Amino acid sequence: MRENQYQKIIISILVILGLSCLMGADNAVKQNEKEIVIIVNNDVAKEVVTYNDMKNMFLNKRIKWSNGKAVVPMVLKSGEIHEKFLKQYVSKTRAQYLSYWKKLIFTGKAKMPKTFTNESELLKYVAKTPGAIGYVSAATAKDSKLVTVITVK
């Protein structure tokens, strides 16, 4: 009788552990879909870009690709992906980024990158704009043949 109770307890523990693992895997998939990927127009040669290059492209400090074409950065207007991108690749908050660009615009040194309210609009615009670079969630870029995903090292 006592052995049967132990077996039930062990089976219950194993079921709970199994469900926990499944929930963890589901969360990992959801988290991966929210990861940021850098996308470029298909005319941009597949090149590895450093974090410093990325930062400079979105701060108007690097204005040409290695093939000589103009870099055309595009950004989201707001949201979780935008905030994550600015923190991870540009090392700025949204307010700092806007302030930086306002100074460039005021001094006549640059025009603000085109902004988009959602990721699918940004992806479509990158697809039709030579030299364009932007960012979207991995889920948005998944299976898209319209743009190229590049590696940032």
Model's pTM, two decimal places? 0.78
Tell me which amino acid residue 91 is: S
Q: Residue for token digits 């697809």?
A: 127
pLDDT score for 47: 74
How many Cβ atoms are within 10 Å of 145's Cβ, its own excluded?
Answer: 7
CA atoms within 13 A of residue 25's CA, in its CB half-sphere: 6
Q: Which of 123, 120, 117, 130 is nearest to 147 (CA)?
A: 123
The Cα 117–Cα 127 span in angstroms is 16
pLDDT score for 31: 40
Instruction: Kindly list the domain boundaries of the chain, sorted by start residue.
Output: 1-33, 35-150
pLDDT score for 60: 97
pLDDT score for 146: 92
The Cα 34–Cα 36 span in angstroms is 6
pLDDT score for 134: 97
Domain covering 35-150, topology: D-Maltodextrin-Binding Protein; domain 2 (3.40.190)
pLDDT score for 46: 74
Q: Residue for token digits 């479509």?
A: 124
pLDDT score for 73: 98
pLDDT score for 67: 85
Contact by Cβ (8 Å): 131, 72: yes
Q: Token pair for residue 6?
A: 């132990």
pLDDT score for 45: 74
pLDDT 10s digit of each residue in the chain, 153 long? 566 676 667 666 666 655 555 555 443 333 455 799 999 999 987 778 999 999 999 999 999 998 889 999 999 999 999 999 999 999 999 999 999 999 999 999 999 999 999 999 999 999 999 999 999 999 999 988 999 999 898
